[in-house]
Amino acid sequence: MVSNRPDWDEYFLQLADLVATRSTCLRRQVGAVLVKNERIISTGYNGAPRGLLHCLDIGCLREERGIPSGQRYELCRGVHAEQNALINAAFYGVSTSKAVLYCTNQPCIICARMIINAGIIRIVHRGNFDDDLAIKFLKEAGIELLLKPQQSEGVNHNR
């Protein structure tokens, strides 16, 4: 009998896909799940900081200014999904040392630097975001990277 049971990586990526559905970004919905010993320690999706209006409510600053994907990250209301997963772990006092990050997109350079300093040891992602410098930094830090592309249509992970 053939099992449709996903392996751990696919299981946590599917959960990251679900987390991405909470995103309030108009351009790209991203979800992240932090895991230790096959247990979820934190999740995050991209959206405005706590208590601030979301782009869904007031529009996209980057779109209004014609800023292309992958440029001028500082001109955005949103906090990246990876950042929110790390922040949520810190907020609730959970160590991220030796954790695995599952993300619907490849992390950008800003997130890569935070991931390195947070002690993440492995990243499993769906790709769909080209940031060669981020990959270079992550590899230099000895973080294992695994690309597992999306198997079926679902959440929009494009910017």
Sign of torsion, CA 113 116 118 120? positive
> What is the token pair recorded at 3?
């099992």
- Catalytic (active-site) positions: 82
How far apart (Å, rounded) are the C-alpha atoms in residues 34 and 71? 26
How far apart (Å, rounded) are the C-alpha atoms in residues 132 and 44? 23
Beta strands at 122-125 and 100-103: parallel, antiparallel or unpaired: parallel
